[in-house]
Structure 1
Amino acid sequence: GDALYAFKIALDDPINKLNSWDNELDNPSTWFHITWNDTTNGVERVDIGNSELAGPLVPQLGNLDKLKYLEVYDNKIDGSIPKELGNLGNLVSLDLYGNSLTGSIPQELGNLKNLMFLRLNDNKLSGPVPDALTKLPNLRVV
């Protein structure tokens, strides 16, 4: 829960979408907009699309090593995409479209060998798509 709590406190949450994200709990299994997997003992999904959230993606998100789905689309997320997201080796879907992200796409995202869906459109990103991303074996939607 520490990584998600770090994300929560970095965000402006005008409609209290993340109100249940309480760092006093042992794990985030009871938090709203989170899917917890008892077998892997980890967060499998973060679903906070279209939630009016503003602020940066935090590097600590790269610590969610069981994460398969990071859905943070249609918000007001700004700053750059942390290279630490390249540590999420189980990630299948990374949806960050419809935000205000800037900078380049980190080459570390090329480490996400299980990634099937990468949606970064409708941001303010610049620079080329890293070669490593074009070589991901399972990537279907970009």
Structure 2
Amino acid sequence: MAPFRTSLKLRLSLCAIVISVFTVPLEVFGNSEGDALYALRRKLSDPDNVLQSWDPNLVNPCTWFHITCNQDNRVTRVDLGNSNLSGHLVPELGKLEHLQYLELYKNNIQGTIPVELGNLRSLISLDLYNNNISGIIPPSLGKLESLVFLRLNDNQLTGKIPRELTGISSLKVVDVSSNNLCGTIPTTGSFEHIPLNNFENNPRLEGPELQGLASYDTNCS
């Protein structure tokens, strides 16, 4: 019976090794926040190697430079302002459900703002200013019920300022100056106290809305 027992132990040991080999990659690559951030890295050009520590082989991204996590190892900050990055934002960023600060200002990011950023219900600050972002301001950003700072100035944005943004009661700072926006400047809700100079240098943007009168948005595209 001894050879049989030895053979059985050997088989069990081999099975354990095989299971561990196939289990580790699932744990490593199973972090959705790490996957989302690595999707962003793949779409960015990084000549100064500021993203060098963004290693997808780690269990979570909390050890990466420019990333901050909470006590539960959930990503709360992405700090990549003034980092000489170019490329595009990715819809996967909408999976960072605990993110509070998305700081990507003063780079050369192009393309559009993903509508999926409207899923970031914990977001306090969205700073995309001084890039080369085009397209519209997604109305989905109106779902960011915790948003306080929205700075999109000095880009190539077009279209209207979404009226959905005026319903964010926490919003204190809005700057969309130096784009190519059109229509009229909202003055209701959270926009009531936003200075007019935060809308300047938009050649097609009309003055503040007049209560009870038709706006000039009908021909805005």
TM range (shorter): over 0.9
Distance (whole Å) between structure 2 residues aligned to residue 17 and residue 124 of structure 1: 25
State yes or no: 1:84 paired with 2:154: no
* Equivalent runs, 1:12-91 vs 2, <5 Å: 12-39=45-72, 41-91=73-123
Question: Displacement, 1:59?
Answer: 0.3
Residue equivalent to 1:101:
133
Q: For the pair shown, which has the larger CA radius of gyration, 1 or 2?
A: 2
Distance (whole Å) between structure 2 residues aligned to residue 23 and residue 38 of structure 1: 21
The answer to which structure has the higher helix fraction is: 2
Q: Give the secondary structure class of the aligned counterpart of 2:83.
A: coil
Q: Give the secondary structure class of the aligned counterpart of 2:133.
A: strand
Among 133, 155, 173, the alignment partner of 1:141 is 173
Distance (whole Å) between structure 1 residues aligned to residue 88 and residue 165 of structure 2: 22
Distance (whole Å) between structure 1 residues aligned to residue 75 and residue 107 of structure 2: 21
Identity %: 60
State yes or no: 1:11 paired with 2:58: no
Question: Displacement, 1:2?
Answer: 0.4
Q: Give the secondary structure class of the aligned counterpart of 1:118.
A: strand
Structure 2 unaligned runs (5+)?
Answer: 1-33, 175-221
Distance (whole Å) between structure 2 residues aligned to residue 80 and residue 10 of structure 1: 13
Q: Give the secondary structure class of the aligned counterpart of 2:49.
A: coil
Distance (whole Å) between structure 2 residues aligned to residue 38 and residue 100 of structure 1: 35
Letter in 1 for 2:55: D
Distance (whole Å) between structure 2 residues aligned to residue 124 and residue 29 of structure 1: 33
Distance (whole Å) between structure 2 residues aligned to residue 38 and residue 58 of structure 1: 26
Question: Which TM-score applies when normalising by structure 1?
Answer: 0.98
Deviation beyond 6 Å, 4+ runs, structure 1: none
Q: Larger relative contact order (C-alpha < 8 A, sep ≥ 6)?
A: 1
Question: Displacement, 1:45?
Answer: 0.1
Question: Displacement, 1:135?
Answer: 1.4
Question: Which TM-score applies when normalising by structure 2?
Answer: 0.63
Superposed CA deviations along residues 35-91 of structure 1, whole A, max 9, x for unmatched, are 01123x310000000001000000000000010000000000000000000000000
